Amino acid sequence: MTDQLAGANYAWMSRYEALLQALETISAQRDLRSLVRQLKEQLHTVVEFTFFDLLLYDPEADKMTLIVPGALPDLPPEHRFQDGPGYVVWTTQEPVSCDIAELTRRWPAYAELRRSEKLKAYCAVPLTTLQHRLGILHFSSTKISSYGEEEVRFIHRVASQIAIAIDNAINFESSRELDRKLTLERDHLANLLAVTNAVVSRLELKDIFEEVVTRLQKLMSCEFTSIILYDETSGQLRWEAASNPGRLPMLPIGMTIPMGETPLARILRSRQPETLRREELLAERESTVLTTLANAGVRALCTVPLISRGNTIGLLSVAYTARDEVDETQTQLLVEIAGQVATSIDNARAYREISQLHDRLANEKLYLEEELRNEHNFKEIVGDSLALRRVLAQVEMVAHSDSTVLIRGETGTGKELIARAIHDLSARRTRTLLKLNCAAIPPGLLESEMFGHERGAFTGAIAQRMGRIELADQGTLFLDEVGDLPLELQPKLLRVLQEREFERIGGRSPIHVNIRLIAATNRDLEKMVAERQYRSDFYYRLNVFPIVIPPLRERPEDIPGLVRHFTLKFARRMNRTIDTIPTEAMERLMKFSWPGNVRELENVIERAVILSRGPVLHLAKSEFGAGAEMQLTETASTPPIPGFPAPQQAGDERELLLQVLRDCNGVVAGPKGAAARLGISRSTLFSRLQSFHISPREVRQTSRRQQLTRAIKSAPKE
């Protein structure tokens, strides 16, 4: 008996030693698959079984996953075992042990499933640690009839140690997976940060494109990268940039890509990334870009939309020639890079627009300063003649439209003033009215002045310059002396009027503008068209609404108002006081033919103000130029003074004026003044006195001396 006990104790000690060795081997495994393989090998040394199944619980999916299948070819990899003993073990956390007869009686479906194994004994124990329920261990044997109570307790203890080893392996794999994810995320963020830092410091689109396609090729390990932008004006895509180190045929930068129903248009509209395989690329025969890439050997083209501030502005693509798929991680990285690139492109566009507006405002400021220096100082339209009122009525009618206006009239009639009036009454009055005199600029420079030029377009073009047409965008362009516009520039300006676009000298892309054109000329354009000195199509495009300004000689009733206006303006400028315009001078001004019109009248009045020494405007006959006497109808003598006999000589009138002044004590104005006594206006009297060099002040002083002398003589002597 003692020998039997000793033998039994030795057997158990050997078994536990084998168990310790097995657990030591198992615990050394950090990979779950390796651990399971070691389990299958090492457990044979401590437990009798023919088949061994290990099921682990997946808490996210709430199901059991078969890790080590036994000899069951039909057993699914994922199974809840609601109809088997394993479900009882999992729910009760207690071992189950029985022979084949009891297994068949209690769980017939499970027994039928394993009928081909010819089992004799079955045992299942839970895999549980203090913190987690991990799964179930199944042991079955064809050699023994059953697992005894002591054997089941032993297997249960073995399972608890195995559970700890499995839990450690799962935690190790989880930490390793977490490290891998953190590493990927760190690399992902590092790549994203690298691209962001590279593009955020760039303000020019060209620099952004070059930086992005170059960096993408390295980050994505691809053979080809490209940027395609959407042009809202034309509704088409535009090939902007590509990185291709000689492996694929390079498509021309700036190439236009029609939208249509191509995959590129589909991605742009759906705003979802998409990967196109070689077969799909070859099928798109209408797309030059896709077929070119397919013929060059591209097997996968991953394209993502460029979205900034809610707007899709283009596409970002990477191409591979060595694989057919692009994994989700790389696609996600490309999507995030595309977001940063889109923002940078949007910012660069905004910067370019702000720079252009800044340059435009600077140019407008210089232009307006020049205009202020050169303007004719017309503050308002002066005159109330019927001819002028008709012109102003036409101005009011056409101002609110955007129609082209052709102002015709002789030189000096105020064509620019009418153009300004049209602009000020129009909806464009808040924008600039830009003036360009076609006759004042040499023909070789007129095109550059009108359309602008790019840097390096010709010798001396050291910087980009905006033309007057571009500066007048959303405003009004006034072309003075349009009859002197060279023939070669007329079709280019016609394109601006018809298509609302032009190109700078040396430029390649069209610039769209919205301007209103007002033209002016003193030439006979119909005659020039008939003589083939002017393009008929351009003339008809200009002559939409003609306005003819009558010359000053046809509206003499406007001359008095103009004379008073110019006299006041120049007197204020010269800090003078001139409040009298002689009637004789005004009559002479109204009878003159004025070949230079308002401009000539303004110059005459300015000279008269300079020559005047007192409050009366002094106007000499010589101011009217050679031959003026032939145009003026003057009487040999001045009209007689009402109430007095007509003087026979100029001396008689002088004596008459002196006598009246003496009687009035040198007073000219007022009810008791000389003008009232003579029945003439104060200004007329001043003019007469000035012509005879009579000073009312001297007459007043002389009269006072004479009165004082008479008073002294008549005083009684003491």
pLDDT tens digits for range 327-369: 888 888 788 888 888 888 888 788 777 877 777 676 666 666 5
Region 274-294: mean pLDDT is 80
Q: What is the pLDDT at residue 56?
A: 85
Region 194-220: mean pLDDT is 72
Residue 548 has pLDDT above 90, yes or no: yes
Could you tell me the end-to-end alpha-carbon distance of the chain, in angstroms, rounded to an integer? 193
Region 392-398: mean pLDDT is 91
Please, what is the average pLDDT of the chain?
78
- The CATH number given to whatever domain includes residue 149 is 3.30.450.40
Paired tokens of 86:
């394993």
Q: What is the pLDDT at residue 343?
A: 81
- Confirm whether 640 is domain-assigned: no
Residue 628 has pLDDT above 80, yes or no: no
Same domain for 314 and 383, yes or no, is: no
Domain count, the chain: 5
Does the pTM surpass 0.85? The reply is no
Q: Lowest-confidence range among 120-129, 361-370, 407-416, 536-545? A: 361-370
- CA 261, 264, 265 angle in degrees (round to 5)? 45
β-strands 256-257, 236-243 pairing:
antiparallel
Provide DSSP, 328-371: HHHHHHHHHHHHHHHHHHHHHHHHHHHHHHHHHHHHHHHHHHHH
Q: Which sign, positive or negative, has the C-alpha torsion 670, 675, 681, 687?
A: negative
Q: What is the pLDDT at residue 715?
A: 55
Q: How confident is the model at residue 409 (pLDDT cuts 50, 70, 90)?
A: very high
Q: How confident is the model at residue 250 (pLDDT cuts 50, 70, 90)?
A: low
Same domain for 97 and 149, yes or no, is: yes
Dist CA 354 CA 333 (whole Å): 31
Q: Which tens digit of pLDDT belongs to each residue from 90-123?
A: 889 999 999 888 888 988 888 887 777 788 899 9
Percent of the chain with pLDDT over 90: 11
Residue 280 has pLDDT above 70, yes or no: yes
Region 605-622: mean pLDDT is 82
Q: State phi, psi for 229 to the nearest 5 degrees.
A: -110, 150
Q: Lowest-confidence range among 176-185, 225-234, 286-295, 477-486? A: 176-185
570 against 716, higher pLDDT: 570
Q: What is the pLDDT at residue 668?
A: 79
- Confirm whether 511 is domain-assigned: yes
Dist CA 194 CA 200 (whole Å): 10
Q: State phi, psi for 520 to the nearest 5 degrees.
A: -140, 145
Side-chain-side CA neighbours of 564 within 13 Å: the count stands at 9
Residue 296 has pLDDT above 90, yes or no: no
Same domain for 383 and 527, yes or no, is: yes
Same domain for 244 and 269, yes or no, is: yes
For helices 490-499 and 443-451, the axis angle rounded to 10 degrees is: 20
143 against 705, higher pLDDT: 143
CB atoms within 10 A of CB 313: 20
Where among 485, 519, 547 does a domain terminate?
547
Dist CA 71 CA 443 (whole Å): 98
Helical ranges in 28-99 per DSSP H: 32-42, 85-92
Q: How confident is the model at residue 192 (pLDDT cuts 50, 70, 90)?
A: low
Same domain for 322 and 408, yes or no, is: no
Same domain for 137 and 232, yes or no, is: no
Residue 482 in 3-state DSSP? helix
Residue 641 has pLDDT above 60, yes or no: no
Domain housing 570: 554-631
Residue 7 has pLDDT above 80, yes or no: no
- Confirm whether 395 is domain-assigned: yes
Same domain for 142 and 283, yes or no, is: no
Q: What is the pLDDT at residue 516?
A: 93
Q: What is the pLDDT at residue 373?
A: 44
- Confirm whether 6 is domain-assigned: no
293 against 707, higher pLDDT: 293
Q: What is the pLDDT at residue 476?
A: 93
Tell me the one-letter amino acid at 55.
Answer: L
**Pair 624, 604: CB distance under 8 Å:** yes
- The CATH number given to whatever domain includes residue 458 is 3.40.50.300
Which residues lie closer than 8 Å to 501 by C-beta, 6 or more apart?
Answer: 495, 510, 511, 512, 513
- Confirm whether 181 is domain-assigned: no
- Confirm whether 527 is domain-assigned: yes
Dist CA 111 CA 253 (whole Å): 72
> What are the residues facing 141 on neighbouring strands?
121
679 against 601, higher pLDDT: 601
**Pair 291, 279: CB distance under 8 Å:** no
Same domain for 334 and 435, yes or no, is: no
Q: What is the pLDDT at residue 199?
A: 66
Residue 378 has pLDDT above 60, yes or no: no
Percent of the chain with pLDDT over 70: 79
Same domain for 23 and 160, yes or no, is: yes
Instruction: Write b or e for each residue in 570-580: b if 16 or more Cβ atoms lie within 10 A of its Cβ, otherwise e.
Output: bbeeeeeebeb
- The CATH number given to whatever domain includes residue 606 is 1.10.8.60
Q: What is the pLDDT at residue 277?
A: 85
Region 171-180: mean pLDDT is 78
Which residues lie closer than 8 Å to 225 by C-beta, 6 or more apart?
Answer: 212, 213, 216, 217, 242, 243, 244, 316, 317, 318, 319
369 against 217, higher pLDDT: 217
Where among 547, 562, 596 does a domain terminate?
547
Same domain for 525 and 461, yes or no, is: yes
Where among 519, 547, 575 does a domain terminate?
547
- Confirm whether 183 is domain-assigned: no
- Confirm whether 30 is domain-assigned: yes
Same domain for 584 and 606, yes or no, is: yes
β-strands 516-521, 405-408 pairing:
parallel
> What are the residues facing 484 on neighbouring strands?
none
Output the CA–CA distances (angstroms, integers) from residue 181 to 167, 329, 358, in the order listed: 21, 11, 48
Same domain for 167 and 37, yes or no, is: yes
